[in-house]
């Protein structure tokens, strides 16, 4: 007999974190608990207000329905498929069942990563802010040993952002430090190509979502003409069927796609995108969507099993004052799992 419940948890940022969609001070999330007579499992339903397709008034009602129907089980797929319009709940259900049926509820994908023998290379994330703040973050990331830095752009003026990137390139070549930028859809279609040309002069690795999602023809034109690799991010949100995913990749032909399991239907959704991306010769990497360490742990363990050689976007565990204490540690530009450290699940 399975029993399920959920609990809301508001994560507080240590310092306000800026994106082109605004400044984040808090982030809501929900923990889903499943209990059997012998064990328990936990998953995280990581909702991003204003971005998640399931940011809806009936979200908690849907979670209650999941708890009432938990006996359907994820293995029968009924529950998972019924939640198609709630990808963050799909992710929570999927990981909670995986947790329930694991020997250790926090070791979902046993590997050299969870044994502490191997690490995942990650990018150092630089948030938007004024020039001084962004420069300070860049300096910190380089001192911490990151060889891949991702800078969010599009909130302050473009010349200032270009100047910050130039200052890194003066000190470090592309072979020493990989630079990625994330525009979060900040450019207008008629100015995007010109800006991409200026950015490409700095030997960047890629740019995420240069224009707002949903403009398939404009994005396809950019991907065809760009001198800088384009990675689709928000573009993947709300695309549910395999047919529609295939149509998007066939139309836009991106160089990369970025997988955020909470936003695209968990690991089932991620597997589907990876398979199609590889058929379309598009690269991919995995990024967390500001989950707590519970969700980040599940995503990291899953990501390791995929054997990607690219730096992943998984360095978000230290953003909050009230995160869940976990064995996840960022060290020298990598994410590690320290099996000697215990989980402290107190909320």
Comparing CA positions, the residue from 95, 88, 99, 27 lying closest to residue 63 is: 88
Residue entry with tokens 């963050």: 88
Residue in 127, 110, 122 with CA at minimum distance from that of residue 286? 122
- The answer to whether residues 177 and 143 touch, using CB atoms and an 8 Å cutoff, is no
Active site residue 306: no
Q: What is the DSSP letter of 123?
A: P
Which among 27, 98, 245, 260 is annotated as catalytic? 260
What is the H or E stretch that residue 103 is in? none
**Dihedrals φ, ψ of 148, to 5°?**
-135, 120
145 Cα distance to chain centroid: 21
As given in the structure block, the two tokens for residue 20 are 């082109």
Active site residue 247: no
Of the candidates 150, 152, 195, 245, the residue annotated as catalytic is 152
CA distance 285 to 160: 28
In sequence order, which residues have a C-beta less than 8 Å from that of residue 277 and are 6 or more positions away?
A: 249, 257, 283, 284
Please identify every residue annotated as catalytic: 152, 260
């Amino acid at each position: 007999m399975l029993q399920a419940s959920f609990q809301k948890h508001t994560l507080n940022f240590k310092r306000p974190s800026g994106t082109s969609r605004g400044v984040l001070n808090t982030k809501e999330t929900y923990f889903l608990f499943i209990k059997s007579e012998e064990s328990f499992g936990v998953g995280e339903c990581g909702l991003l207000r204003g971005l998640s397709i399931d940011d809806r008034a009936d979200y908690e009602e849907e979670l209650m329905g999941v708890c009432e129907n938990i006996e359907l089980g994820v293995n029968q797929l009924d529950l998972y498929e019924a939640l198609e319009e709630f990808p963050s709940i799909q992710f929570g259900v999927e990981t909670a069942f995986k947790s329930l049926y694991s020997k250790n509820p926090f070791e979902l994908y046993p590997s050299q990563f969870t044994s502490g023998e191997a690490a995942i290379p990650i990018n150092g994330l630089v948030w938007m802010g004024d020039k001084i703040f962004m420069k300070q973050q860049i300096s910190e990331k380089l001192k911490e040993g990151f060889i891949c830095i991702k800078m969010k752009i599009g909130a302050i003026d473009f010349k200032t952002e270009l100047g910050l990137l130039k200052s890194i390139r003066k000190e470090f070549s592309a072979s020493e430090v990989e630079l990625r930028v994330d525009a979060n859809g900040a450019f207008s279609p008629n100015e995007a190509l010109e800006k991409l040309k200026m950015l490409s002069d700095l030997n960047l690795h890629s740019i995420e979502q240069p224009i707002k999602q949903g403009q398939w023809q404009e994005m396809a034109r950019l991907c065809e003409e760009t001198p800088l690799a384009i990675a689709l991010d928000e573009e993947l949100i709300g695309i549910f069927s395999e047919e529609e995913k295939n149509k998007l990749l066939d139309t836009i032909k991106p160089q990369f796609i970025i997988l955020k399991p909470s936003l695209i239907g968990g690991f089932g959704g991620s597997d589907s995108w990876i398979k199609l991306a590889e058929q379309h010769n598009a690269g991919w990497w995995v990024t967390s969507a500001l989950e707590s360490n519970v969700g980040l742990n599940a995503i990291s363990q899953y990501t390791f099993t995929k054997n990607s050689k690219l730096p992943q976007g998984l360095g978000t565990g230290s953003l909050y004052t009230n995160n869940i204490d976990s064995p996840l540690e960022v060290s020298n530009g990598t994410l590690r799992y320290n099996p000697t450290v215990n989980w402290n699940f107190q909320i």
